[in-house]
């Protein structure tokens, strides 16, 4: 009444399955990125140990190099 729009149909079972698959794929991509980041962090730790550098803190920025004239 008074210009009310007809209600949309609820999503079908195919639509629901598609949404769940899409959500699962995006979650999987997130896990792949997290695993790649973790491998990179482990490689950086190993490289620092091999070079004899102090461990990098997660919360502090990397040390800035000193200017060439001050060495």
Domains of the chain by residue range: 23-49
Residue ranges of the alpha helices (H) in 2-62?
13-51
Q: Which two tokens stand for residue 30?
A: 């997130």
Distance from chain centroid for Cα 62: 21
Is residue 21 pLDDT above 90, yes or no? yes
pTM for the model: 0.55
DSSP state of 60: S
Residue 56's closest CA among 67, 66, 48?
48
Is residue 53 pLDDT above 60, yes or no? yes
Kindly state the average pLDDT of the residues 57-65: 63
**pLDDT tens-digit readout, 43-52:** 988 988 888 8
Gap between the Cα atoms of 43 and 50, Å rounded:
10
């Amino acid at each position: 009444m008074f210009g009310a729009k007809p209600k949309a149909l609820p999503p079908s079972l195919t639509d629901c399955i598609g949404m769940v698959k899409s959500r699962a794929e995006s979650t999987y991509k997130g896990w792949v990125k997290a695993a790649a980041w973790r491998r990179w962090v482990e490689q950086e730790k190993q490289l620092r140990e091999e070079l004899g550098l102090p461990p990098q803190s997660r919360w502090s920025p990397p040390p800035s190099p000193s200017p060439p004239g001050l060495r």
